[in-house]
């Protein structure tokens, strides 16, 4: 867990390094047990981060195995997470996020060989496209307009679809998707950064 602060405002970011993304249900349990949702309930803007590259290794391998694919993935995800947090905090508009809302950020797997060499297209931060997503595929609600559609792609499909980062706006209490109007508030905040692209999967 790390904190990013500025005068009178504080954002809590929880990082689940190298955890597998199995399904939207898995993500829901993850957020339910995490500090991000609780922080939002206490009025602190929050973001949860999860990565699809799975590794059950100690954090000490960051220094003992600096060129391993796990270490390289951890550094890549950390850089992406730091940049996203800065992007969220950059606009001077307040509040940072709508009340009762948290952001879930899920990263696609990285592509490094066992020797720690880049392999494929997912080995640098610039390889990843950020996509606004939803948690649940079936709902009667209309999402915010994005990439010419009023139905956002499902985060699990985006994470499995290549070098993508799925960003989902969820209600911190229900862990479900928010309305299109609330999605729009978040999209408008991040629009100046032009961070979001489209999912081609």
- 8 in a domain, yes or no? no
- 62 in a domain, yes or no? yes
For the purposes of burial, counting CB atoms within 10 Å of the CB of 138, is it exposed (0-12), middle (13-18) or buried (19 or more)? exposed
Least confidently predicted of 17-21, 171-175, 176-180: 17-21
- 200 in a domain, yes or no? no
Q: What is the mean pLDDT of residues 102-127?
A: 93
Q: How many domains does the chain have?
A: 1
Tally of CB atoms within 10 A around 92? 6
Instruction: Give me the pLDDT at residue 54, please.
Output: 64
- 201 in a domain, yes or no? no
- 145 in a domain, yes or no? yes
pTM: 0.84
Identify how many contiguous H helices and E strands the chain contains and give both numbers: 6, 6
CA distance linking residue 143 with residue 178, whole number of Å: 9
pLDDT band at 28 (very low <50, low <70, confident <90, very high): very low
Instruction: Give me the pLDDT at residue 34, please.
Output: 67
- 180 in a domain, yes or no? yes
Dihedral (CA of 23, 147, 174, 14) sign: positive
- 68 in a domain, yes or no? yes
- 1 in a domain, yes or no? no
Expressed as residue numbers, the domain containing 113 is: 13-193
The upper half-sphere exposure of residue 183, i.e. CA atoms within 13 Å in the direction of its Cβ, equals 24
Instruction: Give me the pLDDT at residue 95, please.
Output: 86
């Amino acid at each position: 867990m790390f904190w990013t602060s500025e005068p009178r405002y504080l954002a809590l970011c929880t990082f689940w390094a190298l955890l597998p993304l199995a399904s939207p249900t898995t993500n829901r349990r993850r957020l339910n047990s995490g500090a991000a949702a609780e922080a939002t309930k206490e009025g602190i803007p929050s973001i949860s981060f999860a990565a699809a590259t799975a590794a059950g290794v100690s954090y000490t391998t960051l220094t003992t195995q600096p060129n391993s694919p796990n270490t390289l993935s951890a550094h890549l995800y950390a850089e992406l997470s730091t940049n996203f947090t800065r992007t969220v905090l950059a606009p001077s508009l307040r509040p940072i996020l709508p009340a009762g809302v948290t952001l879930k950020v899920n990263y696609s797997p990285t592509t490094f060989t066992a020797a720690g060499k880049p392999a494929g297209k997912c080995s640098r931060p610039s390889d990843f496209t950020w996509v606004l997503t939803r948690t649940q595929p079936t709902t009667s609600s209309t999402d915010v307009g994005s990439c010419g559609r009023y139905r956002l792609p499902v985060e699990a499909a985006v994470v499995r679809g290549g070098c993508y980062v799925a960003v989902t706006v969820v209600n911190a209490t229900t862990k479900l998707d928010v309305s299109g109007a609330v999605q729009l508030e978040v999209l408008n905040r991040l629009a100046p950064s032009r961070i979001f692209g489209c999912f081609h999967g």
